[in-house]
Amino acid sequence: MIKFFRTIRKKLLTESKFSKYLLYAVGEIILVVIGILIALQINNTNNYNEQRSLEQEYLLSLQSEFETNLKKINASIEENELRIQSLEYLLTLFDKNVLDTVNSQIISQKLAPIYGSEISYMPATGVLNDIISSGKLNIILNKRLRQHLASFDSSLNLLNKQIDGAKFTDEKLRAILYEKGSIRKIVMDIGFMDFEYPSISEKLDNKLMFESIEFENYLLGYRLLANATNGPRLFGRIKTEIETILKEIERELEK
């Protein structure tokens, strides 16, 4: 094809038909430009299709990750609700008339959720962090989804500050138990562990801790922290964001 155009060009120059040659040259340039534009369009189409394919992979991976995160936040909310209920009950025991009606086993059952675990939430963020750190978040076309994904980390930071504050109170409560109470008594009363050997603490009654103003103050403080954590600004906010992200992902995958 190129040889054909060269032959025509030489013939026109030989015959001194400059105007025709000029017209031909312009036409040849136009054909070259059209060819370049077509190539660019094909390349752009290929790039677009590759990005959409990558977007689908990201969406499916994010969907799996945030479905896991939804299960985790629901478990954290449920666990914290049990913690709140136990704290509310324990706070009633600082009334001696109420304390005298309760046996040691019930007290251990209510102390177990307090000392058995901490307020926590550990989401999976591997896929999200990889997308953001690689600068490929813009591959996701849904602007609303991009905004929620980008802000998820800031919501986690706010929650982590609350959890860090709760750890201080949790440590104080443990210190009181270590000094004035019996861990052995709790684990035996709830059937978590049996001991074959005697101990100086086996006859210790954890009711003695309810004579401590410090214990009451830290229990109340922990109750307020736990309740705030389950509120709309922390666990509630995280759950709402996860549900919104999953809805937007599902909407994109259905297109």
Give per-10-residue mean pLDDT for the chain (255 aa).
53 53 59 66 64 92 98 97 96 96 94 92 95 93 95 93 92 94 90 80 87 96 96 95 97 90
Residue 140 DSSP class: S
Place of tokens 């019996």: 182
pLDDT at position 191: 85
The sign of the torsion formed by the CA atoms of 240, 246, 249, 253 equals negative
Closest to 77 measured CA to CA, from 237, 222, 194, 249 = 237
pLDDT at position 15: 52
CB 226 within 8 A of CB 163: no
pLDDT at position 40: 65
pLDDT at position 198: 80
Q: Can you say how many angstroms the Cα of residue 45 is from the centroid of all Cα atoms in its chain?
A: 34
Residue 93 DSSP class: T
CB 206 within 8 A of CB 104: yes
pTM assigned to the model: 0.79
Residue type, position 136, single letter: K
pLDDT at position 6: 57
Distance from C-alpha of 91 to C-alpha of 73, rounded to nearest angstrom: 27
